[in-house]
Structure 1
Amino acid sequence: MASAVKDSRSGYGTLLRTPGAWTFLLPGFLARQPFAMLTIGIVLLVQSTTGSYGTAGAVSATTGVAMALFAPQGGKLADRFGQRAVLLPGVLVHAAGVAALITLALAHAPLWALLAVAVPTGASTPQVGPMVRARWAARLGAGPLMPTAAAFESVTDEFTFVVGPVLATALCTGIHPAAGLVAEAALTLAGGLLFAAQKRSQPAVHRPGSGERPRVSALSVPGVRVLIVAFLGIGAVFGGMQVSLTAFTQHIGQPGINGVLYGIFAGGNMLAGIACGAITWKVGPRRRLLVAYGLLALATTPLWAVTAVPLLGAVGLVVGLCIAPALITGYTLVETLVPATARTEAFTWLTGAVALGQAAAATSAGQLADGFGPSTGFLVPLAGTALACTVLLALRAHLLPRRSAGGAEAAAGHLPAQVSAGAEDRERELARA
């Protein structure tokens, strides 16, 4: 049934002409590159020094788990004290952690030592993407440009997943196994410091007064918890693809094409993101998320059975095309589900969920590749998305904006009460269709 729900969508050109936008976009783009380089850089370095994909996946997974657990706490601190106060010490700790990890790996240190260093390395990974999204939200509010900003940020994220893994793989295979992580640390330090220097565009710090309501945690919102599960599944695709493609290309004696295949996968993701930002949707975001996620789970089904490189690239492209709509819609839903004072935290929970799913998938895919062959690792993206899709369908009612008495949510930073209520009514009509 055609719905009356329609995004009033302005173009990317209008968005990029927002006053002051480029002051945080350019350094933010530089600073978020390392996010896509870290796990693949660890996998390539540790596998090179130990010869085991399982060990490499375990170290990478530890980094991802630490990132997922500490990122939301960093988001809370950024909401409370400002992004600069969190970012400056974070990038310094992260660069030191990466340097220690490289040193230990090249010295053939035991696994426990690598895991011990992986914890602070992952915990200190700067969450620049959520911080940029929070700056957009602070500047645009709930206006018609906000969905475009969500799409633009997802496209930017996907572009980093095109450039980052290809760059890390090229450096690790063409120069030195540690070169990818060296570049990751350098970009983190330079980009993070430049981004932190942009003080004028960071969201205002809000500390509740004596007569104000206490700060709401993003995790207390049921819809955020549902989205976390969805983003865990998306992380499973990223982690499973990275490790499985690495194992597959090593197995066939063509390790150099690993970055190309992953770049094709991420390129499809980026292209779909560009399209999503340009489309004026006539279907509500909750329905879009459910459809996109079902297609993603379906697209991952044939990965494990493909043995030809060109066909694997084609299937990977289709999988990539299905990820961006789910990511963009998930981030867009945050704007209607979470108060403004907790949005950085909400964005970091979702980003952390991707990292956690990526970490768990890297470990599982590595163990499967070591024990049963490289192609079995591709079962991980299928399992992760199938489980997450089931949860989304079962708990889809939590993705509707909740009305509160007297428009309290609107006062806390949601859409105006009458707008939120109207959107809810239209979404309920969609749910019954």
Structure 2
Amino acid sequence: MISTYTTLLRTPSAWRFLTPGLVARLPYAMLGLGIVLLVKDTTGSYGIAGAVSAAMAVALSVVGPQTGRLADRYGQAAVLVPGALLHGMSVAALIACAKADTPTWTLFVTAIAAGASVPQIGSMVRARWVAKLEGQPLLPTAFAFESVTDEFTFVVGPVVATFLATGVDPGFGLAVEAVLTVVGSLAFAAQRSTAPAPRRRTAEDAPHSSAIRVAGVKVLVGAFVCIGAVFGSTQVAITAFAEESGRAGLAGALYAVFAGGSLIAGAAYGAMAWRGTAERRLTATFAALAVGTAPLWAVPNIAVMVPVALVCGLALAPTIITGYTLVEGLVPADAKTEAFTWLTGAIGLGLAFGSTFAGIVTDGFGASPAFVLTFGSAAVGLLVVTLGRRALLPAKRTVVDVTPVDAAPLALGR
């Protein structure tokens, strides 16, 4: 497994975009929690804090695909530079409004601006991998590597945001998020030689003027909303479960076990040579996710929750990796960044909905019913990909699904 990723990371110029990309992506998972911590401290209301954070997430999910579309057409740097600067100013304005105790509506306005301007670095990194490895057996491994990176940021980001907000100042976590985002994004944008070339559309491209018009992308967006709901409901339910168990301080550790299972499975999944088709694997991984989340509502204590959470997380990253792999065969080259951004935004949207509804259920009925919502989200995702499986069939098969990854060193000339 290690040799497979070593081969991937020897791809020429890869580190030139991976390093600044990681700096820019790490704060992605700090933004929502940072907003909650700041707004709760300044308003005293979890309700307002959650609503402001949800508004940011919705703005990110709605506007993100449009910035991805612009990046496909005009180039990544043309979108990243103004977007990163706007994001930095929006977060600074949010902090200032919260600290100055301005009217609540100003918090929503600045949070929406901050969410809408989040640089879509993860999608752009995936697009750069496609530009380098399209049609080659290392591409699924690249998607796996990116999913593992995403998991890493979601493990580290909230911890850093909490430490800074509680140990230094409630606004400091958001301030660091803004600085890392701006610096990392500008450094990433400067690596123009590794970016996909802008593609001007012609009349032949009209049916695919937007990636969301592709039926398979619509299916994946619906499925990824369900994945986001699994994330969001699990975060809330695990927090409530730890509190009900009298060990509230273990909530972060329990979620780290959940995310750790996903990280481990993603790393292993990306290093394997799969002979089945990707759309079949997506159905199988969603089925595994539904089975893994089914027993969560019945877990009696912390000791049992640890292994259950680990097993539950094992299906997450493989499901996400397979979805991104399918995109590569569903959309034309001039819509890939947009398509990846639709999936990223769908997860964010599902996370906002999942955490919101899980919070309502938890307030009224406790943690166990909230875990039922987690299972329901996975089950609906399985239904979506099962009913939409034909739409996920790519127009043309490539060797990606059948060629052993160990053959990859022969393909590194590109």
Relative to the length of structure 2, the TM-score reads 0.89
When residues 181 and 371 of structure 1 are mapped into structure 2, their CA distance, relative to the original with a 3 A threshold, is farther
Query: Which of 111, 116, 120 is matched with 1:118 structurally?
Result: 111
1:365 aligns with 2:358: yes
Q: Contact conserved, 2:245 with 2:302, CA < 8 A, in 1?
A: no
**C-alpha separation in 2, matches of 1:176 and 1:158:** 26
1:233 aligns with 2:212: no
- Structure 1 segment 371-386 matched on structure 2, within 5 A: 371-386=364-379
Query: Which of 34, 41, 44 is matched with 2:37 structurally?
Result: 44
- Structure 1 segment 231-380 matched on structure 2, within 5 A: 231-249=224-242, 254-306=247-299, 308-380=301-373
Q: Contact conserved, 1:166 with 1:260, CA < 8 A, in 2?
A: no
Structure-2 residue corresponding to 1:23: 16
Q: Contact conserved, 1:63 with 1:359, CA < 8 A, in 2?
A: no
Residue identity matched to 1:175:
V
Which segment is superposed worse, 37-46 or 70-79?
A: 37-46
Q: Secondary structure at the match of 2:371?
A: helix
When residues 310 and 54 of structure 1 are mapped into structure 2, their CA distance, relative to the original with a 3 A threshold, is farther
When residues 363 and 124 of structure 1 are mapped into structure 2, their CA distance, relative to the original with a 3 A threshold, is same
**C-alpha separation in 1, matches of 2:266 and 2:68:** 25
1:199 aligns with 2:192: yes
Q: Contact conserved, 2:20 with 2:184, CA < 8 A, in 1?
A: yes
Which segment is superposed worse, 194-203 or 106-115?
A: 106-115
Structure-2 residue corresponding to 1:154: 147
Q: Contact conserved, 2:65 with 2:345, CA < 8 A, in 1?
A: yes
Q: Secondary structure at the match of 1:300?
A: helix
Which segment is superposed worse, 225-234 or 212-221?
A: 212-221
Residue identity matched to 1:193:
L
Q: Secondary structure at the match of 1:11?
A: helix
**C-alpha separation in 2, matches of 1:276 and 1:200:** 30
**C-alpha separation in 1, matches of 2:102 and 2:366:** 27
* Partner deviation per Cα, 1:249-274 (whole Å, 9 max, x = no partner): 45666554333222222111111111
Structure-1 residue corresponding to 2:386: 393
The structure 1 segments of at least 4 consecutive aligned residues displaced by more than 6 Å after TM superposition are none
1:77 aligns with 2:70: yes
Calculate the aligned-residue CA RMSD, in Å.
2.5
When residues 60 and 319 of structure 1 are mapped into structure 2, their CA distance, relative to the original with a 3 A threshold, is farther
Deviation at 1:230, TM superposition (A): 1.0
**C-alpha separation in 2, matches of 1:44 and 1:261:** 20
**C-alpha separation in 2, matches of 1:181 and 1:119:** 15
When residues 136 and 395 of structure 1 are mapped into structure 2, their CA distance, relative to the original with a 3 A threshold, is same
* Partner deviation per Cα, 1:147-180 (whole Å, 9 max, x = no partner): 1111111111111112112222333344333333
Structure-2 residue corresponding to 1:143: 136
Deviation at 1:42, TM superposition (A): 2.4
Relative to the length of structure 1, the TM-score reads 0.85
Identity %: 55
1:130 aligns with 2:145: no
**C-alpha separation in 1, matches of 2:77 and 2:48:** 35
Which segment is superposed worse, 195-204 or 373-382?
A: 373-382
Structure-2 residue corresponding to 1:3: none
Gaps of 5+ in 1: 1-9, 404-414, 424-433
Structure-1 residue corresponding to 2:182: 189
Residue identity matched to 1:225:
K
* Partner deviation per Cα, 1:90-140 (whole Å, 9 max, x = no partner): 111112222222333345555433222221111111110000000011111
Tell me the number of residue pairs that the alignment of Structure 1 and Structure 2 aligns: 400
Residue identity matched to 2:120:
Q
Q: Contact conserved, 1:31 with 1:187, CA < 8 A, in 2?
A: yes
Which segment is superposed worse, 242-251 or 167-176?
A: 242-251
When residues 237 and 111 of structure 1 are mapped into structure 2, their CA distance, relative to the original with a 3 A threshold, is farther
1:58 aligns with 2:54: no
Structure-2 residue corresponding to 1:426: none
